[in-house]
């Protein structure tokens, strides 16, 4: 794969103030000198976890989606199994935990599919999507904040749901489309 050219950072931070902080994120207001030389205020969200997504695939080319009502966008969402992994933890360990918690599945074969930035204009959140194979079914371990529905379906149908707009979560869309267009 051809490596893209990178350029030096034209932003010059001057100061940073914490506006809000909780176990998942920290909101900063930064005073910066922008690329044009002017002074700007920039809101920045530092996430304390890596976003982890998993596309489980069985021997019949089925996958699992997780449905839940998402509070912030105020809508129901079908997604690949996903969650957050602490920055100091191996992301693969977090992926294994999330898959087991949300679907009851464990996997013997794991492959990283992609890394992505979820909204790089205002956050530093980084995401990793894995493919999980060699699946064994077990019991879910939902967290208190999760009211999840689980659906097993052909992988091809999950791809179609992305194309029809039924799946809109960015990590799910990116992961499923990359898988569809790759040799996985």
Residues designated as active site? 146
In a 13 Å sphere around the CA of 67, the CA atoms on its Cβ side amount to 11
Residue 31, both tokens: 């005073």
| Pairing assessment for the beta strands 49-56 and 126-136 based on DSSP bridges | parallel
| CB-CB contact of 111 with 83 (8 Å) | no
In a 13 Å sphere around the CA of 47, the CA atoms on its Cβ side amount to 19
Those residues whose C-beta lies under 8 Å from the C-beta of residue 71, and which sit 6 or more positions away, are none
Residue 61, both tokens: 């080319």
Residue 165, both tokens: 């707009």
């Amino acid at each position: 794969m051809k490596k893209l050219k990178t350029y030096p950072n034209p932003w010059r931070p001057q100061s940073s103030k914490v506006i809000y902080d909780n176990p998942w994120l920290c909101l900063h207001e930064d005073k910066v000198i922008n690329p044009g030389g002017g002074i700007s205020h920039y809101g920045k969200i530092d996430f304390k976890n890596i976003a982890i997504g998993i596309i489980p695939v069985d021997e019949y080319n089925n996958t699992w989606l997780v449905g839940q009502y998402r509070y912030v966008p105020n809508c129901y969402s079908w997604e690949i199994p996903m969650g957050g992994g602490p920055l100091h933890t191996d992301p693969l360990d977090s992926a294994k935990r999330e898959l087991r918690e949300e679907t009851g599945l464990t996997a013997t074969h794991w492959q990283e599919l992609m890394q992505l930035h979820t909204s790089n204009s205002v956050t530093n959140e980084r995401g990793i999507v894995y493919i999980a194979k060699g699946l064994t079914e077990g019991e879910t371990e939902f967290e208190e904040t999760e009211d999840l529905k689980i659906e097993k379906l052909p992988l091809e149908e999950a791809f179609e749901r992305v194309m029809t707009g039924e799946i809109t979560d960015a990590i799910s869309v990116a992961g499923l489309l990359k898988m569809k267009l790759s040799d996985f």
